[in-house]
Amino acid sequence: MSVHGQSAPGLTDSTPSAAPAATPQLRKAVVVGGNRIPFARTGGAYTKSSNQDMLTAALDGLIARFGLQDERIGEVAAGAVLKHSRDFNLTREAVLGSPLSAETPAYDLQQACATGLETVLGLANKIKLGQIDSAIAGGVDSASDAPIAVSEGLREVLLDLNRARTLPQRLQILSRLRPKDLAPDAPNTGEPRTGLSMGEHQALTTAQWKITREAQDELAYNSHRNLAAAYDAGFFDDLLTPYRGLSRDSNLRADTSMEKLATLKPVFGKNLGAAATMTAGNSTPLTDGAATVLLASEEWAEAHDLPKLAAVVDGEAAAVDFVHGKDGLLMAPAFAVPRLLARNGLTLDDIDFFEIHEAFAGTVLSTLAAWEDEEFGRTRLGLPGAYGSIDRSKLNVNGSSLAAGHPFAATGGRIVASLAKMLHARGQVDGRPARGLISVCAAGGQGVVAILEAL
Amino acid sequence: MTDKYTQLVSRGLGRDIARKLGLPQPVPLRRHQPGDPLVAGPVLVQGTGSGADELASALLSWNLDVRRHAVPKEKLGAVILVLDELSGPEDLARPVLTAATSLRDLASNARVITVSRAAVDATGPAVAAARQGVDGLLRSLAKELRAGATGNGILLRDGTRTTSPSTLGALRFFLSGRSAFVDGQFLTVTSDAGQQPDDVEKPLAGKVAVVTGAARGIGASIARTLRRDGATVVVVDIPAAGDQLATVANEVHGTALQLDISREDAGQRIIEHAVQRHGRLDIVVHNAGITRDKLLANMDPGRWNSVIAVNIAAQLRINEALLASEHFRSSPRIVSVASTSGIAGNRGQTNYAASKGGVMGMVRATAPLLAAHGGSINAVAPGFIETEMTARIPFATREVARRLNSLQQGGQPGDVAEAIAFLASDAAGGISGEVLRVCGQNLVGA
């Protein structure tokens, strides 16, 4: 139930303009379909697969599903969060390794875990503007094949050595090296400005919003149960192509139970005083995988005899000041969603499917708690009271990241393709197209959210 | 392509040794490559009736080097024995013995093809005896041919012209390298339906074909062959085989449909995909099949039921949907993959053989249902084919199995695909309810 639907005065100061969203001269950008490879827990089936391998595999399956061999796509955009410097042209290289026309342009994009959704929004905008007629959005990540950098000390020495002209200069530079400089610098999920890992950050937020262990475990349990049921129903038959022997996400535990989840020991927030609640069961593990989405104008889809599942209606990004503790690291969607819905004249009640990325069960539950909180509504959203609550039976109905896993940049593509299929199957609700909301939180205190509508 | 033994004994010292020891002497078979000549040399048409004349002039119009009389010592690409006017067994002697004098002049990979009338339509015992005699004659002759040469027959049902589209289509198929591993077999032409292709290299141009079980092996080969012949191909396989399926789809420039064909709505999903993505549906190839071998004494319901469900029940259900669909009414073609196991039986394969026997029964009974729309349905029964599956058979067993046919070698997946592509073509419209074996005239199972 949403309390304040019609207008949200405080929202306007953070909204660029209150112009109506449906600008008539823009054409529709539609989701034709998607393809991803099953997500694998890090160190599992895709240990030896590079980002380029996986992104190419996901593209291959998409091309096969929609008969895009030799097709010149308007533009392909994808990205990876953990990226080797040699992969500066990752997406273009994947395109060149695929059956698409070699004349298909591509670019890389990086916005932490929101990468995948942002590629969809950016390309959809180009389609709406008429700049391109077709596009493939996507993302890939491998925590198994992560880049390892040399230490700053060694890096500086190596660069200086390169510039040195004489032997004495070189010897002098080499003498600066210390044993600790030889230790490699592996990537981690820590925030550079706080030094805290993402999990520790979320633990602070989870505690702040008093989210119980049981509520988190229940969300995780539902995620596994819903995802398993979706697989059994064949929901993923036209959304996924097996890879390296996997035909389901390897993190999925179809037989998990509340009892099993309750036995897991907390892994984050153990120093917060209060009882720690975040476990390996209600937090997403590091995962490898790739996802792609085929977008098009309606005309292009029709001319190619391809389905039109859903329209990409609108999107919004937000960021929070987590550095000074004003808001939790992963709370940006709590601001982005009210802004996006207000711009489109919608409330939480107008949404038929909520796809809230489960970075941690605590992230989803903290966001929902903030929306239900009077004070948060008043002081942070500038509303007369609480923003509203959602019908939980509409949340992540075919599972989400807690069960599927979360290869950072691939999650957006996974959600968009799945949601578009659900919306198309639902069709009309109360005489209007079924509507879905996507919310993805991201490192750096960011969040990207979007609305899709059934076609 | 050919196995190591065939390579060894088909030339030089290996050939001499094999000949002296009386070992099998398989030769690399002539297989169709686009642009290749239809036959390896002149075609001798034997027979004195009007049917022989008509056929000879039809072959002339294909720009073949046609002979009505043999020139001694001249190598022949094919001998066509037209026996369509037999009134009794005595009538066989003259044409057959005349043809016999040319057998030593056959080039390697030559063809002997009989054209005769079906015994079931015979008006009396003597005619029936003569017509049935051709059956025994051809099958024996095929076993006498060497060096990759094959013998096959075309049987005409009553009222069918010797130059009907499907007679000519079958003739072209048997003459060509497309029938490399078809030996000792008959194809019955039931009617004058069907039509010759505009472009013999692209007989499936403009057609939309669905191939099930297309992720690997014979199914993938069928997809490639249909594509080569001009069709737009939808490849279908279970979701778990989706990665290989995607590779095949991308190779044949088609679309991949991940679908378990034993699902209740499989037929509907196939029709929807073909029509929505490609605008039509002309050809369905039921290739998907599984084996769950066990001696019957040790058979469990799981093994039995899954084989029946996938290999025959799914085909029946999909065919029902096809027959009911308004999108499958323009000279539609169904081709099913059966198996010689379903004809001859195979130890440990009661479930598989039951399902494949079922396929042949289904094909026969479905033919009249499709006839109204100019459609046809046929089955192809492969013998020993060199696939990933047969590569897992223990060496000695495999070596014996692949030599136990007149061509003394295993077939290639492409050989099965060629037979299917022919039966799926417009030229085969007058052939329906038939089972064509692609087995090199396997010595077991007649």
For residues B428 and B422, is the Cβ–Cβ distance under 8 A?
Answer: yes
- Inter-chain CB proximity A237 and B256 less than 8 Å: no
Nearest-neighbour CA in chain B from A57: distance (Å): 8
Flag whether residue B236 sits within 8 Å of chain A, measured between CB atoms: no
Residue B348, pLDDT above cutoff 80: yes
B72-128 pLDDT, tens per residue?
A: 888 999 999 999 989 999 999 999 999 899 999 999 999 999 999 999 988 899 999
> What's the gap between Cα A169 and its chain centre?
48
Taking the model in full, what pTM does it have? 0.88
A241 neighbourhood in chain B, CB within 8 Å: 242-243, 245-246, 256, 258
Residues of B in contact with A61 (CB under 8 A): 242-243, 246, 256
Q: Residue B4 pLDDT more than 90?
A: no
Q: At A240, which amino acid appears?
A: L
**Using the 8-state DSSP alphabet, how is residue A379 labeled?**
I
Dump pLDDT digits (tens) for B186-240: 999 999 999 999 999 999 999 999 999 999 999 999 999 999 999 999 999 999 9
Quick one: CA dihedral B155, B159, B162, B163, positive or negative? negative
Q: How many CB atoms lie within 10 A of CB A298?
A: 16
From chain B, the residues in CB contact with A60 under 8 A are: 246-247, 250
Tell me the pLDDT tens digit for each residue of B23-36.
777 888 999 999 88
Instruction: Give per-residue pLDDT as tens, B302-344.
Output: 999 999 999 999 999 999 999 999 999 999 999 999 988 888 8
Q: Give B385-439 pLDDT, tens digit per residue.
A: 998 878 888 888 888 888 888 888 999 999 999 999 999 999 999 999 999 999 9
From the CA of A242, how many Å to the nearest CA of chain B? Answer: 5
Q: Please name the residues in contact with A254: beta carbons below 8 A apart, sequence gap of 6 or more.
A: A224, A225, A228, A231
C-alpha of A281 from chain center: 19
Contact B239 A234 (CB under 8 A): yes
Q: Which tokens belong to A342?
A: 């207000």
Higher per-residue pLDDT: A173 or B286: B286
* C-beta atoms of A306 and B254 within 8 A: no
Please name which of B176, B214, B212 lies closest in space to residue B197, comparing C-alpha atoms: B176
Q: How far apart are CA A70 and CA A64, in angstroms?
A: 11
CB B210 within 8 A of CB B58: no
Quick one: average pLDDT of B364-376?
Answer: 93
Under 8 Å CB-to-CB from B90, ≥6 apart: which residues? none
Question: Consecutive 10-residue runs of chain A (455 residues): their mean pLDDT?
Answer: 43 48 76 98 93 97 98 97 90 97 97 96 97 97 79 82 85 82 71 87 93 96 97 95 96 95 91 85 94 98 97 97 92 97 96 97 97 96 96 97 96 98 96 97 96 97
- The structure tokens listed for B169 are 């289509």
Closest residue, chain A, to B238 (C-alpha): A237
Put simply, the answer to whether A61 touches B242 (Cβ < 8 Å) is yes
Interface of A with B in 234-253 (CB under 8 A): 234, 236-238, 240-243, 247
Neighbours of A194 (CB within 10 A): 16
Percentage of chain B lying above the pLDDT 90 cut: 72
List of chain B residues whose C-beta atoms are within 8 Å of the C-beta of residue A95: none
Active-site option among A201, A224, A357, A441: A441
Instruction: Measure the CA–CA gap between A236 and A218, rounded to whole angstroms.
Output: 24
Altogether, the residues listed in chain B come to a count of 446
Judge whether A372 is closer than 8 Å to chain B, CB to CB: no
DSSP summary character for residue A395:
B
Q: SS3 sequence, B297-345? A: HHCCHHHHHHHHHHHHHHHHHHHHHHHHCCCCCCCCEEEEECCCHHHHC
Domains of chain B as residue ranges with CATH:
31-189 (3.40.50.720), 208-438 (3.40.50.720)
